[in-house]
Homo-oligomer: A and B are copies of this chain.
């Protein structure tokens, strides 16, 4: 059967390996497997949200309120915006897809950093758009400006802070960059890890209301998958001017999140204390990683997220990740991103202790 030509050379996203796979392939007791590969919140979902979902599980047969009235109201309230500024996606991933489908077609230009969230490129290529990347791995606004002047772009992706590297642009430099961008170019500010970055350093904080008021061609993306500890529930959101939101609604399929996801997200917004605690613990634990890397003489990228990227010189990251996997420790190898590095989610105190121990063991064996 013939399919659209554009699909021929598409690659698919390589997800962090699930615990179930390690159990199946290496026969390890699921309780012994530690997953530090997908930047899930290691402290688990807020007990209040868990209790809510337990009480609502019987409603699984009912479609969700597709207007998402209550969740949109709660988000609008949180960000001092209106419901008409909000669209909900099945993860903020799905909003990325809306951005591409609304703005791009064959031969559109999409601009991004060399090493950034893989779905930007995957969605772009699905519609046959050209993906233009900077030479530098990390976000470099000078390079992005130069490429923009040369090629123009229908969409620019900025991942603030950046996944999978962890670096983070300052708000002020983002604004300076945005001033130079044509109002017809959609600039996507992916704030999936903003809760972490703005906790660590106020200069990194992007206020969605301020952003989209000053730059009506920008959209801010947020997610419940990271700090809000609902990675498995697939809820993200886009905040933008109504012109953009209403267009995206034309692309959104009905019932794009589940009944329980909707309820979980609404409940999670009521327990901000839990989120703050998790973030505070994250940065206490991250210090241990920085100390570990320094002690071992490994370079790492200072991170504004809930993960850290450790670069190797004398070891092959792919081998290191594989050896860890065989011991029930899942981390992300970044070879596919062109880096000899691993990305490790900052886990709980115990999980991190285990990671250091196993990594010591693996590296010793590879010497």
Contacts and interface: CB of A to CB of B under 8 A. Distances in A.
Interface of A: 1-4, 7, 10, 12-13, 15-16, 18-21, 24, 35, 38, 40-41, 43-45, 49-50, 53-54, 57-67, 69-70, 90-91, 93-94, 97, 101-105, 119, 126, 183-184, 186, 216-217, 225, 229-234, 243-244, 247, 249-261, 264
B60 A50 contact: yes
Contacts of A50: 57-58, 60
B94 A253 contact: yes
Given A21-B69, A35-B62, A60-B264, 5 more contacts: A1-B186, A24-B69, A40-B61, A232-B258, A233-B259
Contacts of A41: 61
Contact of A63 (B18, B43, B62): B18
B93 A18 contact: no
A-B residue pairs, 3 tightest by C-beta: A232-B259, A18-B65, A61-B229
A98 to B, nearest CB: 10
Contacts of A18: 63-67
A61 B256 contact: no
Contacts of A119: 253-254
Given A1-B243, A12-B249, A93-B255, A102 B59 contact: no
A20 B67 CA distance: 10
Given A7-B102, A102-B7, A21 B232 contact: no
B251 A63 contact: no
Nearest to A256: B90
B38 A60 contact: no
Contact of A254 (B13, B40, B229): B13
